[in-house]
Structure 1
Amino acid sequence: MVQRWCTLEGGFLSYYESEQTATAMGRMDLAEMVTLAVCRVDTPHRVSVTATHKITSSKAAFTFEAFLTAERVFTFGTETSEVRRQWLQALAKCFVPLPVAHLRDKDYELIGRLYFKDGHDLNFWRVGWFTLEESNLYFSSGEGDSESHLGLVQLKRLQELTVSTRTVGQDKMDVLLMVESGRTVYVHGFSRADFSLWRGAIFRAAGTDGRALSSQQLSKHDVPIVVESCVAFVTQYGLAYEGIYQRNGNPQRMAQLLESFQKDARSVKLRVGEQQLEDVTDVLKSFLRGLEDALLTKELYPFWVSILDEEAEKARVRKYCTLIQSLPKINRTTLGALMQHLYRIQKCSSMNQMVTHNLASVFSSCLFQTEGQMSQEVRVVEDLINNFAELFDVNEDQVKQMETENSFIMSWKDITLSRAGDLIFEVYLEKKEAENCCLIKVSPTMRSEELADAVLSMRNVEVLDAADLWTTFETIENGELERPLHPKERVLEQVLEWSALEDPGSAFLVIKKFSAAKMAAYQKVIFCRWGKGLSQRGPFPVQGRIIQAAVGKQVPGQIHCPA
Structure 2
Amino acid sequence: MTLNFQVMSRRLISFGNRPEMLRQRRQCGSEGISGTWTSGWILAQKRTLFYRVQDGTLQEADLRKARCIVLQDSKPEAARLSVAEKGPLILVDFPGQALYLQMDSIRETMAWHSVIRAAAVDNGLHLAQQQLTHEEIPVIIDKCIKFIYAYGSMSQGIYRRSGANSSITRLLALFQQDAWAVQLTRQEYSEYDVSSVLKRFLRDLPEPLLTVELHSQLCEIAAGKRGSDKSVHYRRVLEQLPPINYLTTRKLIGHLHFIHEQHEKNLMPVENLAAIWGPTLMHVEGENLIRARLESAVVADLIILFFQIFEVDAAELSREKRILEVLERYHSANSSTPQNKPSGDLKIWIHLERKDTSNCVNVTVGPQKLAGEVCFELASKTSLPAHELCLEEVVCGGALTRPLHHTERVLDVVLRWGYWSDVDRKDNCLVLCQNTVLKEAAGQVKYLSPLCGDLRFADRKSRSFKTYLFEFSQAKLCYYKDKRGSVKLSEWKIEDIVWYLGYEPKRNPQMRWAITFIDKHDKPERSKENPYFGCTVAGTSKEEQVRWIGAMLAAEHPQNVLPSPVLLQ
TM-score norm. by structure 1 comes to 0.58
Call closer, same or farther: CA 1:212–1:111 in 2, change over 3 Å.
farther
Q: Is residue 518 of structure 1 aligned with residue 515 of structure 2?
A: no
By how many angstroms is 1:364 displaced?
A: 0.9
Which of 47, 52, 55 lines up with 1:140 in the alignment?
52
The answer for the alignment partner of 1:108 in structure 2 is 6
Q: Where does 1:234-313 land on structure 2 (aligned, <5 Å)?
A: 234-310=148-224
Q: Where does 1:61-140 land on structure 2 (aligned, <5 Å)?
A: 108-112=6-10, 113-118=12-17, 120=19, 122=21, 124-140=36-52
By how many angstroms is 1:389 displaced?
A: 1.2
Identify the structure with bigger relative contact order (alpha carbons < 8 Å, sequence gap 6+). Answer: 2
The answer for the alignment partner of 2:303 in structure 1 is 385
By how many angstroms is 1:411 displaced?
A: 3.5
Q: Give the Cα separation in 2 of the matches to 1:529 and 1:307.
A: 48
Call closer, same or farther: CA 1:402–1:415 in 2, change over 3 Å.
farther
The one-letter code matched in structure 2 to 1:330 is I
Contact 2:3–2:46, Cα closer than 8 Å, also in 1:
no
Q: CA RMSD in A?
A: 4.7
By how many angstroms is 1:244 displaced?
A: 0.6
Contact 2:402–2:499, Cα closer than 8 Å, also in 1:
yes
Per-residue CA distance 1:464-504 (angstroms, 9 max, x = gap): 11315699xxxxxxxxxxxxxxxxxxx9xxxxxxxxxxxxx
Contact 1:227–1:284, Cα closer than 8 Å, also in 2:
yes
Other structure's SS at 1:184 match? strand
Which of 122, 127, 143 lines up with 1:208 in the alignment?
122
Q: Give the Cα separation in 2 of the matches to 1:460 and 1:359.
A: 53
Call closer, same or farther: CA 1:397–1:347 in 2, change over 3 Å.
farther
The one-letter code matched in structure 2 to 1:227 is I
Contact 1:305–1:376, Cα closer than 8 Å, also in 2:
yes
The one-letter code matched in structure 2 to 1:305 is C
Which of 59, 64, 68 lines up with 1:160 in the alignment?
68
The one-letter code matched in structure 2 to 1:530 is S
Contact 2:51–2:59, Cα closer than 8 Å, also in 1:
yes
Q: Give the Cα separation in 2 of the matches to 1:162 and 1:396.
A: 41
Per-residue CA distance 1:376-401 (angstroms, 9 max, x = gap): 11000001111111221212442242
Call closer, same or farther: CA 1:224–1:372 in 2, change over 3 Å.
farther
Q: Give the Cα separation in 2 of the matches to 1:405 and 1:263.
A: 33
Per-residue CA distance 1:96-145 (angstroms, 9 max, x = gap): xxxxxxxxxxx8333433122135574753322211122111212213xx
Q: Is residue 530 of structure 1 aligned with residue 535 of structure 2?
A: no
More moved, 383-392 vs 434-443 = 434-443
Which of 454, 463, 472 lines up with 1:465 in the alignment?
454
Q: Is residue 329 of structure 1 aligned with residue 243 of structure 2?
A: yes
Contact 1:139–1:152, Cα closer than 8 Å, also in 2:
yes
Q: Give the Cα separation in 2 of the matches to 1:430 and 1:141.
A: 42
Q: Give the Cα separation in 1 of the matches to 2:251 and 2:67.
A: 18
Identity of aligned residues (%): 23
Per-residue CA distance 1:290-341 (angstroms, 9 max, x = gap): 1120000112211111112327885221111111110000100110110111
Q: Is residue 345 of structure 1 aligned with residue 259 of structure 2?
A: yes
Call closer, same or farther: CA 1:121–1:403 in 2, change over 3 Å.
closer
Which of 380, 405, 409 lines up with 1:434 in the alignment?
405
Call closer, same or farther: CA 1:364–1:514 in 2, change over 3 Å.
same
Other structure's SS at 1:185 match? strand
Q: Give the Cα separation in 1 of the matches to 2:152 and 2:227.
A: 30
The one-letter code matched in structure 2 to 1:279 is D
Q: Is residue 177 of structure 1 aligned with residue 91 of structure 2?
A: yes
By how many angstroms is 1:250 displaced?
A: 0.7
Contact 1:514–1:551, Cα closer than 8 Å, also in 2:
no
Other structure's SS at 2:403 match? coil
The one-letter code matched in structure 1 to 2:62 is Q
Contact 1:111–1:132, Cα closer than 8 Å, also in 2:
no
The answer for the alignment partner of 1:355 in structure 2 is 269
Q: Is residue 317 of structure 1 aligned with residue 307 of structure 2?
A: no
By how many angstroms is 1:509 displaced?
A: 4.9
The one-letter code matched in structure 2 to 1:135 is R
The one-letter code matched in structure 2 to 1:409 is L
The answer for the alignment partner of 1:230 in structure 2 is 144
Other structure's SS at 1:307 match? helix
Q: Give the Cα separation in 2 of the matches to 1:385 and 1:347.
A: 10
By how many angstroms is 1:431 displaced?
A: 4.6
Call closer, same or farther: CA 1:198–1:228 in 2, change over 3 Å.
same
Call closer, same or farther: CA 1:309–1:184 in 2, change over 3 Å.
same
By how many angstroms is 1:179 displaced?
A: 2.2
By how many angstroms is 1:200 displaced?
A: 1.2
Q: Give the Cα separation in 2 of the matches to 1:368 and 1:209.
A: 22
Call closer, same or farther: CA 1:164–1:520 in 2, change over 3 Å.
closer
Q: Which runs of 5+ in 2 are unaligned?
A: 22-34, 80-84, 331-345, 347-364, 369-391, 395-399, 421-447, 461-491, 517-523, 541-569
Per-residue CA distance 1:516-537 (angstroms, 9 max, x = gap): 96269999xxx997359989xx
Contact 1:236–1:409, Cα closer than 8 Å, also in 2:
no
TM-score norm. by structure 2 comes to 0.57
Contact 2:456–2:539, Cα closer than 8 Å, also in 1:
no
The answer for the alignment partner of 1:545 in structure 2 is none
The one-letter code matched in structure 1 to 2:319 is Q
Structure of higher CA gyration radius: 1
Q: How many matched pairs?
A: 379
Which of 382, 399, 403 lines up with 2:321 in the alignment?
403
Call closer, same or farther: CA 1:159–1:313 in 2, change over 3 Å.
farther
More moved, 257-266 vs 185-194 = 185-194
Q: Give the Cα separation in 2 of the matches to 1:161 and 1:528.
A: 41
The one-letter code matched in structure 2 to 1:258 is L
Other structure's SS at 2:88 match? strand
Contact 1:257–1:283, Cα closer than 8 Å, also in 2:
yes
Contact 1:117–1:125, Cα closer than 8 Å, also in 2:
yes
Per-residue CA distance 1:403-453 (angstroms, 9 max, x = gap): 331342354356858xxxxxxxx999985153797999999xx99xxxxxx
More moved, 173-182 vs 430-439 = 430-439
Q: Give the Cα separation in 2 of the matches to 1:534 and 1:466.
A: 22
Other structure's SS at 1:333 match? helix
Contact 2:393–2:401, Cα closer than 8 Å, also in 1:
no
Per-residue CA distance 1:144-191 (angstroms, 9 max, x = gap): xx22xx33221111233333334769x983222222221121112221
Other structure's SS at 2:216 match? helix
The answer for the alignment partner of 2:101 in structure 1 is 187
Contact 2:14–2:101, Cα closer than 8 Å, also in 1:
yes
Other structure's SS at 2:455 match? coil
